[in-house]
Structure 1
Amino acid sequence: MMLSDDLGWLSILPVFMLIIYIGMIGLSIYGFVLFVKLARRGIRVMDLYLQDKNERKPGPPSL
Structure 2
Amino acid sequence: MPVIAFLLAVFVVTVEQLSQWRYGPMGIVALTLLAIGIRSRNHTCSAIGAVALALLVTRPAL
What TM-score bracket applies, with the shorter chain setting the length?
A: 0.3 to 0.5
Q: TM-score, normalised by structure 2?
A: 0.39
Q: Which has the larger radius of gyration?
A: 1
- Larger RCO: Structure 1 or Structure 2 (Cα < 8 Å, ≥ 6 residues apart)? 2
Structure in which a larger fraction of residues adopt helix = 2
Q: TM-score, normalised by structure 1?
A: 0.38
